[in-house]
Amino acid sequence: MKRGTALLALGAVTAAAAVTAGVLFLGDGGGAGAPAGSGDLPPATATVVRTDLVRSKTVDGRLDFARRRAVKSAVEGTVTVAATEDRTLTRGQALYELNDKPVTLLYGPVPMFREMKVGDRGSDVLQLERNLRDLGYGSGLYVDVRYDEDTAAAVKRWQKSLNRETTGRVGRGDVVFQPGPVKVVSADAALADQVGPDGPVLTIASTEPVVRAGLDQTDGALTSRGTRVEVTLPSGKTVAGKVAGTVRPEQSGGEAAAQDGITVEVVLNGGAGAASGEDAKASASVKFVSEAHKGVLAVPVEAVVALRGENGGYGLQVVEGTTSRMVRVETGMTADGQIEVGGPDVREGLKVGVATS
């Protein structure tokens, strides 16, 4: 099946809507076992089957990584070592170098918003000390919110290992705090580029692979967090996942049409290894499953008959040899041209009439 083609129409499809085209109106709405009108056999038959009905929609998507964001320089300077695209970086490694000094990745939720020095207090100091400890420079350091002489001593040991001037202070342009390991998506500043404060240097993302897919505004039900998804990766491997939420579509050169749809981010089961070795530039096929009924009895939609009379409802024309009879049924979910049916007179294997156009 061609990617990007919807497999099924989504939304609640009632039996009444499903059977209006060319449906037979028979009987007076009487009970089960009523004769099928004139008693003539139907022009065609089908068999009641037990199957899984699934409402879904399949669209194209592309591989990416979660929480994509730009890293901007906190100070003015010259890029002396540019970021390396596609590289995964962990705590203590340099994202890039500015003015021949490494800008180091440290872990923590609080951004670097000030120079830190002796006498400062705050949550940023606490996360700095945790990083110094975890990097092996915290000997004698009590990890708390106070930047004291012990903190300065630990900073000096760390600065010495980086061949920096051992000031005991941490400048705004010295480190970048991120929640965890990052993947360099793109290098936005090249070697020898001059960057000013707030100038973009690189774009990073988490190491968690995701797939981003575009849906129509009418597919809002599929954007709910936790909606089940099946992703066929460029290699042909199928991986399960779930909707993590919606994201703002990336804008580039007049892509105004992107604003008409919804961009959904899908988290793949299996973590960082789920998309290992996949071609990130190739399309993936994303199947959103909005509803599934397992092991139900089903017939072609054209087999359901709307019953006349004060009781109304729906029925099936059961064919038994050279005779037929009408049985009342309850209808349920429709998917892929089939409709769920149930009732005391319905069982797997029954032969039922089907209307023809």
Same fold? 58-66+208-292, 74-113+172-207: no
pLDDT tens by residue, 132-181: 999 999 988 999 999 999 999 999 999 999 989 999 999 999 999 999 99
Residue 15: closest CA among 299, 348, 311, 346: 299
> Which amino acid is residue 357, in one-letter code?
S
The Cβ-side half-sphere exposure at 1, using a 13 Å CA radius, reads 14
Range in 7-16, 57-66, 101-110, 196-205 the model is least confident about: 7-16
Structural domain boundaries in the chain: 15-55+293-354, 58-66+208-292, 74-113+172-207, 116-169
Cα–Cα distance between 278 and 61 in angstroms, integer?
Answer: 13
Q: What is the pTM of this model?
A: 0.64
Q: How confident is the model at residue 278 (pLDDT cuts 50, 70, 90)?
A: confident
> What's the CATH architecture for 116-169?
Orthogonal Bundle (1.10)
pLDDT of residue 195: 95
CA distances from 94 to 86, 107, 145, 158 (A): 14, 13, 25, 13
Per-residue pLDDT tens over the stretch 36-52: 544 578 999 999 999 99
Q: Label residue 182 by pLDDT band (50, 70, 90).
A: very high
Q: Are 333 and 350 in contact (CB under 8 A)?
A: no
Please write the tens of the pLDDT for every residue from 315-325: 999 999 999 99
- pLDDT mean across residues, the chain: 85
Residue 97: burial class (beta carbons within 10 Å; 0-12, 13-18, 19+): middle
Span 115-136, mean pLDDT?
A: 97
CB atoms within 10 A of CB 46: 19
Q: What confidence tens digit (pLDDT) does each residue in 217-262 have? A: 888 878 889 888 999 999 999 999 999 988 876 543 334 334 568 9
Alpha carbon 321 to chain centroid, angstroms: 51
Please tell me the CATH superfamily of domain 58-66+208-292, with its number: Efflux pump adaptor protein, beta barrel domain (2.40.30.170)
Reported CATH class of domain 15-55+293-354:
mainly beta
Give the right CATH number for 74-113+172-207 from 3.90.79, 3.40.50, 1.10.3470, 2.40.50.
2.40.50
Least confident segment among 103-117, 176-190, 276-290: 276-290
With beta carbons less than 8 A apart as the criterion, state whether 338 and 26 touch.
Answer: no
What is the mean pLDDT of the segment spanning 5-24? 38
